[in-house]
Amino acid sequence: MRYPSHLLKLIQAFRKLPGVGNKSAERFAFHLMNWDRGTLSEMAELIKRIPDEIHSCAECGCFTDKESCQFCHPERLTTGVLCVIASPRDAYAIEETREFKGIYQVLGGLLSPLDGIGPDLLAIPSLLRRIQTFNVREVVIALDSTLEGDTTALYIKRELDSLSVITSRLAFGLPMGSSLDYVDGGTLARAFAGRGKF
């Protein structure tokens, strides 16, 4: 007995979500069968209205639901510090730390030749333009500590070589609350090399 076709389509739609395989998609779809019409309509409406409610800031690339992007607030534009992030989501994680008061630049991805993502797909021109416009003196590169993140960070560093800006990158080391027993060798090596006076 096959699933009803509507159920099958729903499962296929859920499978498009990140990290969702067949089993999870089925669980989600069957779970929705128990929702009442009102809750289903509400969820449908939320999904459908995303493009009307949220857009990317034309300047920094962060998500916003306002006319003017909150991340591009005038107070932030004059700090002279710009943080390079891969996706809009990273901005919220960095905001939570309360360590940063400058502006953001969303790249829209990381360099990955194997996936066909070259520099032309990243917001490098916008980064260069805004560094000039807002007299940025420090560019903080807040990218993943992966091969793609390293490659992209290096590429950006070289692009900025001719400009008079300081480039910095997030520190590598032990995650907070971790035990040496459980930390991988690469992390430990970076933490060792980057040790500081105590």
What distance in Å separates the CA atoms of residue 19 and residue 81, rounded to the nearest whole number?
34
Report the Cα–Cα distance between both ends of the chain, in Å, rounded.
67
Angle in degrees, 0-180, between the axes of helices 5-14 and 22-32, rounded to the nearest 10: 120
Min dist. Cβ of residue 104 to a copy of itself (A): 10
Min dist. Cβ of residue 198 to a copy of itself (A): 33
Is position 133 an interface residue for a copy of itself (rule: CB under 8 A)?
no
Scan residues 29-48 and list those touching a copy of itself (CB under 8 A): 30-33, 35, 37, 39-48
| Residue closer to a copy of itself (CB basis): 37 or 195 | 37
Which residues does 8 contact at the CB level (< 8 Å), separation at least 6?
2
| Residue closer to a copy of itself (CB basis): 71 or 134 | 71
Scan residues 144-183 and list those touching a copy of itself (CB under 8 A): none
Is position 193 an interface residue for a copy of itself (rule: CB under 8 A)?
no
Tell which one of 89, 101, 129, 158 touches a copy of itself (CB under 8 A): 89
What distance in Å separates the CA atoms of residue 91 and residue 31, rounded to the nearest whole number?
32
Exposure string for 47-81, b = 16+ CB within 10 A, e = fewer: eeeeeeeeeebebbbbbbeeeebebbeeebbebeb
Interface contacts to a copy of itself, rule CB under 8 A: 1, 3-7, 9-10, 13, 16-20, 24, 26-28, 30-33, 35, 37, 39-51, 53-54, 63-65, 70-71, 87-89, 91-92, 95
